[in-house]
Amino acid sequence: MNSFFSPLVKRENPYGKILPFPQISSMFPKKFMSHLDLINKFGLSSTAFLTSYDHYLYFHLRSDQESNSQASIAYVETPTAWVVAGDPVGPKHLWLTLLQQFIQTAFDHNKSPLLLPASKELVDLVRQEGLPSYILQIGQEPWIQLNERRHSSDFFKILPSAKKLQKQGGRVQEFNPLQATPQEFQTVEKLKEDWFQNRKCATLDFLNKVDLFKNHAQKKYFQLVYKGQCQAFLAAVPIPARQSWYLVDLMRSPNSVAGSSELLIIEAMAALKKIGAREVTLGLSPLTPELTSETPNHPNTYKMLHWIYNHFNNFYGFKSLAKFKEKFEPESWEAQYLIVFTPKLSGNLSLSVAGKSLLGLFYALFPKGILHTIIQTLKNSIAQFYPTESFQPFLSSQTILNPLPQQKHNWVLSLPVTWSFVFLILLSWTLNSATVSLGHWTTLLFSTFLLSSLIETFAGPHFMILPFIIGFFSNQLISHSLIQILPHLDFIHKTPLTFFNHLSLGVFAIFGSILVFLNTKTRIGIGLLLTSLVFLSSRSELSFNILIAILLGNFSTQYLLHFRNRRKVQRIQNHLSSF
């Protein structure tokens, strides 16, 4: 038996992005069809069908007599590694030979071979045959049985939001790309764009690449229509050897109603069951903490993975993804692994191999490189960053504040007083630029914008104007009241303050106002920090003035809070009753 390594062939879809859709057999070269044929015959893993996408290279195992491949491996080439996408496709007795030849070829090309996600069966084979490797469980895959014992009504019982949506008129329809109109395609494309825009992480490649209408003839598509609009879209890819389907590209509109994804999946499962599907999978839940059987082998690595699972949810929704899949109460969770093949027999991972593999994995997931990934992630994070939203967990649960504006541009426009303050500071800066350093002005401008925008959003402009005015004139208040009573207080700044000082005291008073709306824990934390900072910084002559400004801001806000809902409301009520 000979094997050969097929070189990378860049294939462009000749028909553009989405339209029209000819039969696949006429579209692709023979070499590619061979892999697809193998998938259709031997595809056991959920990811097998996805390896028929354009960005993979294939390593085939062929006999001399036959031109067709007997088994194949789909992989991507990165600068340091060859990263295999899932189990080999072909008869199981050929897996070992194919793997051995692939590993050898990879090392010959000075590349580190690694494979993910690998099934338990493959891992057992690798261990049994003693292939030098480093094996790590990277997650679990939920499988839902579509047998007579479980009906759609059972899913509706455990997912009431889906049932509610169905009652309200949410309908799931099969989407046929061959019969769909250009408008329908545009809607799906728009949904896809919105879906990607809502992610903080840079777009993932490898098995996470979304190519909705690739090999569409073998896929099934479903869409959720609610009030005449497509709210969510789902693609299902076949797992032929298992008579199962993988519900892969689930996308929903950011404004979709609760239960959209759940209803779409339930109805899609019912439709697939009708055409003979035995089970469906929702795909890998990466880094789920239930990695018990493998943990003793590499305890520190699993600790690290667990830490990533707990702390990197803003970057990639590990927890939310796992919880969503758990909601369907799958019958089984199949473990999925990462196998890094090592050159030595020991099976220990050397630093160079680990480095090469990690880099290879990174390039497989983010083929455009580190810099591009960082820039894209930053760009997405900035686009989705809503300062007030991040501030919300620190707010008091004892006060009902204004809700956040639904759109970011509305939020920016709804801050007239903040912008006036910023303008005032800029104007003062240009007039007094010589007296105070650039750093001080920048700090004042930045803090004014941050504090004012927060208080104006959550509480309204009154809660910043009054404290600011009081803080601005707080020094005069102290001079005319406190110092008259206690003339020996040396630590109070008695000399006239500059305009900059007055402005900064006004901003400190706004800070004092914000404290009223914070939860106790945050308030105590900030209060302690601020007090210690003010008293430790013995250089600042204004320390006491700052504390007084904060306190005045705080008290004035508390008074305003009381006044608005007692007297002002009474006035409006009287006005109401006069009509």
To the nearest whole angstrom, how small is the minimum distance from the Cβ of residue 564 to other proteins? Answer: 5
With beta carbons less than 8 A apart as the criterion, state whether 446 and 408 touch: no
To the nearest whole angstrom, how small is the minimum distance from the Cβ of residue 204 to other proteins? Answer: 29
Binding part of the chain for other proteins, among 78-86, 288-296, 318-326, 563-571 by CB under 8 A, reads 563-571
320 binds other proteins, rule: CB under 8 A: no
To the nearest whole angstrom, how small is the minimum distance from the Cβ of residue 415 to other proteins? Answer: 11
To the nearest whole angstrom, how small is the minimum distance from the Cβ of residue 577 to other proteins? Answer: 9
405 binds other proteins, rule: CB under 8 A: yes
Contacts to other proteins from residues 407-446, by CB under 8 A: 410, 414
Phi and psi angles of residue 102, each rounded to the nearest 5 degrees, phi first: -65, -45
In the set 297, 310, 402, 531, which binds other proteins (CB under 8 A)? 402
Kind of pairing, strands 251-252 and 220-226? Answer: unpaired
User: Alpha carbon 140 to chain centroid distance?
Assistant: 19
- In 3D space, the residue among 84, 83, 72, 87 whose CA is nearest the CA of residue 119 turns out to be 87
To the nearest whole angstrom, how small is the minimum distance from the Cβ of residue 142 to other proteins? Answer: 28
- In 3D space, the residue among 80, 321, 74, 56 whose CA is nearest the CA of residue 201 turns out to be 321
Task: Enumerate residues 6+ apart whose C-beta is below 8 A from 120.
Answer: 334, 335, 337
With beta carbons less than 8 A apart as the criterion, state whether 45 and 85 touch: no
Choice between 11 and 568, CB closer to other proteins: 568
Write each residue from 440 to 479 as x if it is in contact with other proteins (CB under 8 A), else as -, in one continuous string: ------------------xxx--x----------------
- In 3D space, the residue among 134, 59, 70, 137 whose CA is nearest the CA of residue 100 turns out to be 59
DSSP letter, residue 44: -
Choice between 404 and 526, CB closer to other proteins: 404
Alpha carbons 3 and 5: distance in angstroms, whole number? 7
CA–CA distances in Å: residue 98 to residues 33, 121, 134, 205 = 19, 15, 19, 25
Choice between 170 and 330, CB closer to other proteins: 170
With beta carbons less than 8 A apart as the criterion, state whether 441 and 501 touch: no
Alpha carbons 115 and 558: distance in angstroms, whole number? 62
Write each residue from 109 to 148 as x if it is in contact with other proteins (CB under 8 A), else as -, in one continuous string: ----------------------------------------
Contacts to other proteins from residues 143-202, by CB under 8 A: 168
228 binds other proteins, rule: CB under 8 A: no
In the set 306, 319, 523, 564, which binds other proteins (CB under 8 A)? 564
In the set 178, 351, 400, 486, which binds other proteins (CB under 8 A)? 400
CA geometry: angle at 195 spanning 191 and 197, to 5°?
A: 120
With beta carbons less than 8 A apart as the criterion, state whether 113 and 81 touch: yes
In the set 65, 398, 430, 538, which binds other proteins (CB under 8 A)? 398
To the nearest whole angstrom, how small is the minimum distance from the Cβ of residue 314 to other proteins? Answer: 19
522 binds other proteins, rule: CB under 8 A: no
Helices (H), 168-249: 182-197
Binding part of the chain for other proteins, among 128-136, 351-359, 537-545, 562-570 by CB under 8 A, reads 562-570
To the nearest whole angstrom, how small is the minimum distance from the Cβ of residue 377 to other proteins? Answer: 27
To the nearest whole angstrom, how small is the minimum distance from the Cβ of residue 522 to other proteins? Answer: 16
Binding part of the chain for other proteins, among 23-31, 43-51, 144-152, 567-575 by CB under 8 A, reads 567-575
- In 3D space, the residue among 265, 264, 254 whose CA is nearest the CA of residue 191 turns out to be 254
397 binds other proteins, rule: CB under 8 A: yes
Alpha carbons 86 and 118: distance in angstroms, whole number? 5
Choice between 458 and 472, CB closer to other proteins: 458
CA geometry: angle at 48 spanning 82 and 191, to 5°?
A: 100
Alpha carbons 336 and 86: distance in angstroms, whole number? 10
To the nearest whole angstrom, how small is the minimum distance from the Cβ of residue 532 to other proteins? Answer: 29
Choice between 6 and 414, CB closer to other proteins: 414
406 binds other proteins, rule: CB under 8 A: yes
Helix (H) or strand (E) holding 351: helix 351-365
Binding site for other proteins (CB under 8 A): 168, 392, 397-406, 410, 414, 458-460, 463, 517, 561, 564-566, 568-569, 572-573, 575-576, 579
